[in-house]
Chain A
Amino acid sequence: MSDTTTEIGEFEENTGEPEHRTRSRIWQGVFWVALIGFLLIAPTLFYPVFVMQLLCFALFAAAFNLLIGFTGLLSFGHAAFFGGAAYIAGHALKVWGFPPLLGIAAGTLFAAALGWAVGSLAIRRQGIYFAMITLALAQIVYFFVLQMPFTGGEDGLQGIPRGHLLGFIDLNQPLAMYYTVAAIFLVGFLVIYRIIHSPFGQVLQAIRENEPRALSLGYNVDRFKLLAFVLSAALAGLAGSTKALVFQFASLTDAHWQMSGEVILMTLLGGMGTIFGPVVGAFVVVTLQHVLSGIGSWVQVVIGGTFIACVLLFRRGIVGELARLLKINSL
């Protein structure tokens, strides 16, 4: 309810008329086709490990967007779920000898449990306090990761074996690994899509739009927020676990607060509250980091500049602005 008055003008041209909804559906279809087409042919065009990195971050950002874009909660501690899951998955694969999918599941479950613990504490507060609590708790996780004996401290957890998918597909084959990651990404992304378009997602949007009103309609807002938080943390964990398997190591960077900042940047740049925005945002940020890796820490300056430009010039993010140009509500 914060700034409805200013938004009235901005959204005036956007109406929910049926022909308009059809247009929305067509453009969403175009994006789905483009995404799946990209997933299929990407390894023939780009270096597979790079594309896998893109996909891991895209899934991470999409999971984060579930909270900020569709529930209205700004978590500043999502690196804890991404990084924490990476370490647990890595440990399960390396030390306990779990098969790949089970290792990823272990990391994801850990992130869900951690999300439940962090979420239960954080949802008692709102706005900036919520963000600060998630940051503080994520920092605790970071220092655990730094100090615990099994994580390898500054060196990170190295030499995680990729193993054999379902016992017979050798994931050391780049293409086998690639299509496994593509499948994990697609499943995770579809899960997020479904959550957004479920009865539960409808209530989440109501909470984002007007929390006191949702409460007065009889919705136990805290329980909805907590479940959203756990789902988002679990999916961030899925992304982190998958990344650990692809790169065969889990590092402190994954759990560092800068990672929490980066996922916010990806989501805002792509367009928070849009379906495809986080994916686009992650692609842009990771690509920039790759292309500009030659200029060292100046990358941070370029990315910071991009962020400022985004906030000043296109606040809805890339996909959000595109949706406005195409006059559709959801993309």
Chain B
Amino acid sequence: MSDIILEARNLTKSFGGFVAVNGVDLRIQRGSIHAIIGPNGAGKTTMFNLLTKFITPTSGKILFNDTDITNKKPAEIANMGVVRSFQISAVFPHLTVLENVRLALQRGLGVSYHFWRSKALLHDLDAQAMARLEQVGLADYATLRAVELPYGRKRALEIATTLGLEPELMLLDEPTQGMGTEDVGAVTELIGRVRDGRTIVMVEHNLGVVAELADTITVLARGEVLAEGPYSEVSKNPNVMEAYMGVSADEQEEAV
């Protein structure tokens, strides 16, 4: 297997006349944590949705382990080992915490279409699900419904569920968005803990998190790659500073 787990070649997506992502080349190293950052409107979310197949590119190619996945559906790439998280915390609110994780494991049993069988057979997966919950520190909450968890814990549940699929590649969409400092620390620590044996791509606003976790950073601006490299390099890049500061200043003005 090559060192490159995921590759985007000349990826372009336009909505009507607006080009959100413009000829982006991206190579994700196997086993690394790769962050995609950029000011608002840089095309991060579009890029993310392209990589996870939630939208189809206008042109360009996406390769996962050297296989062309450009025309695959989200469920298909999930079965290949590419699993995404969502910006809004994506749990099944009225199912229990245990059931949430079990849904990720259930596919392995091959009984998901068996409407004539009792779901008691899913209890075989409980131990495995509990192990996942322990990994993210949620074992004590297994019988609660997901909706009853505080926000930070919902995120942890989402990560536990994603881990249940044993993904080779995890794509995290702003994992710390909307969190207080305490939760940000916990989730950052959690991601660091579960990275063993997998590759993680994340879109993230919080530069502290990126600095701590990411091996490689790709900076997007106006739908194009502005810079790429480790944090120490990228953060000193004058183009990046300009793009970030310039837009941030505008934003601040708007906010005021």
On A, residues with C-beta under 8 Å from B are 1, 4, 7-8, 11-12, 14-18, 21, 194-195, 197-203, 205-206, 209-210, 212-221, 223-224, 227, 231, 329
Pairwise interchain contact A200-B115, C-beta atoms closer than 8 A: yes
Give the size of the chain B interface in residues (CB under 8 angstroms): 43
Pairwise interchain contact A12-B148, C-beta atoms closer than 8 A: yes
Please report the C-alpha to C-alpha distance between residue A318 and residue B106 in the assembled complex, in whole angstroms: 33
Pairwise interchain contact A213-B92, C-beta atoms closer than 8 A: yes
15 CB contacts below 8 A, A to B, read: A7-B147, A16-B145, A199-B106, A199-B117, A202-B99, A203-B103, A203-B112, A210-B93, A215-B78, A216-B74, A216-B85, A216-B90, A217-B78, A217-B165, A219-B112
Q: Does B245 contact A (CB under 8 A)?
A: no
Please report the C-alpha to C-alpha distance between residue A4 and residue B104 in the assembled complex, in whole angstroms: 21
Query: Which of A1, A16, A224 interacts with B96 by CB under 8 Å?
Result: A16
Complex interface bits, B69-101 against A, C-beta within 8 A gives 1, otherwise 0 = 000001100110001111010111111100100
Q: Chain A residues near B106: list those with CB within 8 A.
A: 199, 202-203
Q: Which 9 A-B pairs have the closest CB atoms?
A: A218-B78, A200-B115, A209-B92, A16-B143, A213-B90, A199-B111, A195-B115, A218-B79, A16-B96
The stretch among B1-9, B15-23, B118-126, B228-236 that forms the contact with chain A is B118-126
B residues 130-174 touching A (CB-CB < 8 Å): 143-145, 147-148, 161, 165
Q: Would you give the shortest CB distance from B25 to chain A, in whole angstroms?
A: 25
Q: Chain A residues near B85: list those with CB within 8 A.
A: 216
Q: Would you give the shortest CB distance from A308 to chain B, in whole angstroms?
A: 26
Q: Would you give the shortest CB distance from B75 to chain A, in whole angstroms?
A: 5
Q: Would you give the shortest CB distance from B236 to chain A, in whole angstroms?
A: 36
Pairwise interchain contact B148-A11, C-beta atoms closer than 8 A: yes
Q: Would you give the shortest CB distance from B220 to chain A, in whole angstroms?
A: 22
Q: Chain B residues near A224: list those with CB within 8 A.
A: 112-113
Query: Which of A8, A199, A216 interacts with B122 by CB under 8 Å?
Result: A199
Pairwise interchain contact A216-B84, C-beta atoms closer than 8 A: yes
Pairwise interchain contact B93-A199, C-beta atoms closer than 8 A: no
Pairwise interchain contact B144-A217, C-beta atoms closer than 8 A: no
Q: Does B107 contact A (CB under 8 A)?
A: yes
On B, residues with C-beta under 8 Å from A are 52, 54, 74-75, 78-79, 83-86, 88, 90-96, 99, 102-104, 106-107, 109, 111-119, 121-122, 143-145, 147-148, 161, 165
Pairwise interchain contact B145-A329, C-beta atoms closer than 8 A: yes
Pairwise interchain contact B118-A197, C-beta atoms closer than 8 A: yes
* CB nearest neighbor in A for B104: A217
Please report the C-alpha to C-alpha distance between residue A252 and residue B121 in the assembled complex, in whole angstroms: 44
Q: Would you give the shortest CB distance from A221 to chain B, in whole angstroms?
A: 7
Please report the C-alpha to C-alpha distance between residue A168 and residue B107 in the assembled complex, in whole angstroms: 47
Q: Would you give the shortest CB distance from B10 to chain A, in whole angstroms?
A: 26
User: Among A8, A195, A200, A217, which residue has the most Cβ atoms of chain B within 10 A?
Assistant: A217
Pairwise interchain contact B147-A217, C-beta atoms closer than 8 A: no
Please report the C-alpha to C-alpha distance between residue A198 and residue B116 in the assembled complex, in whole angstroms: 7
Q: Chain A residues near B88: list those with CB within 8 A.
A: 1
Pairwise interchain contact B143-A218, C-beta atoms closer than 8 A: no
Pairwise interchain contact A216-B147, C-beta atoms closer than 8 A: no
User: Among A194, A201, A209, A231, which residue has the most Cβ atoms of chain B within 10 A?
Assistant: A209
Q: Chain A residues near B113: list those with CB within 8 A.
A: 200, 223-224, 227
Q: Chain A residues near B95: list those with CB within 8 A.
A: 202, 205-206, 209
Q: Would you give the shortest CB distance from A108 to chain B, in whole angstroms?
A: 16
Q: Chain A residues near B109: list those with CB within 8 A.
A: 199
Q: Chain A residues near B52: list those with CB within 8 A.
A: 216
Q: Chain A residues near B75: list those with CB within 8 A.
A: 215, 218-221
Pairwise interchain contact A201-B90, C-beta atoms closer than 8 A: no
